[in-house]
Amino acid sequence: MGIVAGLDSSPDFTRIVVCDADTGAVLRQGYAPHPVETPDGAARPSDVDPQAWLLSLGEAAGGGLLEGVQAIGVSAQQNAVVPLDAQGNTVRPAMVGGDRRAQVAAADLIDALGGREAWAQAVGTVPQAGHPVTKLRWLAKTEPENARRTAVLLQAHDWLVWQLLGRPVRRTTDRGGASGTGYWSAATGGYRPDLVELALGHQVMLPEVIGPSDAAGTTPEGLLISAGTGETMAAAFGLGLGFGDAVVSLGASGSVMAVHPEALSDSSGMITSLADATGMHLPVVTTLNAVRTLRGTSELLGLPDLESLSDLAMKSTPGSHGLVMLPYLEGERTPNLPHTAGTLAGLRRESMKAEHLARASFEGMLCGLADALDVLRGRGVEVRRVFLLGGAAELPAVQAAAPMLFGAQVVVPQPADYAAIGAARQAAWALGVSQGTLDPRNPPMWQGPAAQVLEPGDELAVGQAVRQQYVSVREQTHPGAFRA
């Protein structure tokens, strides 16, 4: 079929991969940071001129990177909102990221619709500070004139696709991106314009949601542009996830997602019901504490890095001599304990050694994520394989404990630009459909990622005992807080 490209516009940079359309083999790559000034030590800005995304895209594609490319897919950071006026000009800079400014707006919106359960039933997600619908509420409350001028709402990948196509009258998005807005339901496959009005104060134009294998359009030069999607959905597509596969992502906070045939509504709000890039669903459960647990323990023990903490933890044994850490250092979302703190239990003379505390931090982090996996399992989601992502996935202490604690095969893919690869795979799908060589219901079969595969093996019973030790402490400390 030729060659295709996928670009991933993350919060900080643009990555582009050029792939063989038949096999997915990466032929060329490009990279450029976004030209956004962030002072040393300062938080990432909450407002960004979207032109910065175009500038880094142009730089990343320099040197003839896209020569011979027939189709492009776009993946971009989620939760970014680009408000446009009736003429298609930006009303204000894009609102990006978690955006703590909008925390009060999130609480307002939850109350305005009648509580968390009402939101979960309406769109499969409960508003948080980062959600686009919450940012609209913040805009209406703090910048009412800008809110009044807003006539069109786009997300980052919508806006980039629109720009690549020369700003046509038709504006498009995909199910994956739309499902994270807080005003589109993965269960019904439709917008809830009443929720936009509830947040912003008036109706606006929303992009047309097109199918996973559809093309958004073709540039004047004949380059096909696929639907595009959010980074999470693109990474899942790039990894080649299917039924029975879950992803555990180890950032400062953690997330667990899995492929499922239907949308899951969860009245507690622990499950966020997203759509994927193939026509299926991606229920997601997040924890507030993952690698930050390891970093905090490392600092407490005076260790220079996480590798040293891992080495120390490997000198202990499963169960950490009875030491249990509930890693709720920043409060927690799963279970919903926003104002709690972490707990260290099981202190005995023989357990008060640095290696046992180091091991307890790894087991606490992974048991917290296993709780999140159990939320999905409790709703009928099958988990046979767990893909473990993030730099910490390479640590020996993580790899030693994860299979037995998750109770499943663990796959640790080699680091790669999976979101960009997923965007390229989407481009190959749209190109194949347009040429009549691919079925619109079945994406191209690309080679899977190179990966380590870890089995729980004989240690499964040991892992269950460690989990039970953790669950006992959790239930004693926070009775009834967690219901998988």
Inter-residue contact 30 to 58 (CB < 8 Å): no
For residue 231, report the phi and psi dihedrals to the nearest 5 degrees: -60, -40
Model confidence band, residue 39 (pLDDT cutoffs 50, 70, 90): low
Instruction: Label residues 204-241 b or e (16+ Cβ within 10 Å = b).
Output: bebbebbebbbbbbeeeeebbbbbbbbbbbbbbbbbbb
- 3-state DSSP assignment of residue 78: coil
Over residues 359-372, the pLDDT tens digits come to 999 999 999 999 99
**Model confidence pLDDT, tens digit, residues 308-324:** 999 999 999 999 999 99
Residues 6+ apart with CB under 8 A from 366: 398, 401, 402, 405, 406
Q: Yes or no: say if 320 and 284 are a contact pair by the CB < 8 Å rule.
A: no
Tally the residues of the chain. Answer: 484
Tokens of 153: 């709402």
Rounded Cα distance, 176 and 230, in Å: 6
How do residues 110-147 score in pLDDT, each as one tens digit?
999 999 999 999 999 999 888 999 999 999 999 999 99
Asked whether the beta carbons of 254 and 369 are under 8 A apart, the reply is: yes
With bands split at pLDDT 50, 70 and 90, how would you rate the model's confidence at 295? very high
The Cβ of residue 167 has, within 10 Å, a number of other Cβ atoms equal to 10
- H-run or E-run covering 397: helix 396-406
Q: CA 364, CA 367: separation in Å to the nearest integer?
A: 5
Mean pLDDT score, 235-239: 96
For the CA atoms of the chain, what is the radius of gyration? 23
User: Quick one: pLDDT at residue 40?
Assistant: 61
Tell me: the pLDDT tens digits for 403-430?
999 999 999 999 999 999 999 999 999 9
> Taking a C-beta distance cutoff of 8 angstroms, is the pair 373, 367 a contact?
no
Q: Tokens standing for 312?
A: 């120390």
pLDDT at 101 over 90: no
401's CB contacts (< 8 A; 6+ apart) are 318, 362, 363, 366, 463, 466
Average per-residue pLDDT in the chain?
95
Residue 271 in contact with residue 411, Cβ under 8 Å? no
What value, to the nearest 5°, has the Cα angle with vertex 235 and ends 254 and 97? 55
Angle of helix 291-300 relative to helix 306-313, nearest 10 degrees, comes to 80
> Per 3-state DSSP, what percentage of the chain is helix, strand, and coil (rounded to 5)?
35, 25, 40
The tens digit of pLDDT for each residue in 178-222 reads 999 999 999 999 999 999 999 999 999 999 999 999 999 999 899
Q: How many CB atoms lie within 10 A of CB 484?
A: 15
- Predicted pLDDT of residue 43: 66
Q: What percent of the chain has pLDDT over 70?
A: 98
**What pLDDT score does 482 carry?**
80
pLDDT at 483: 67
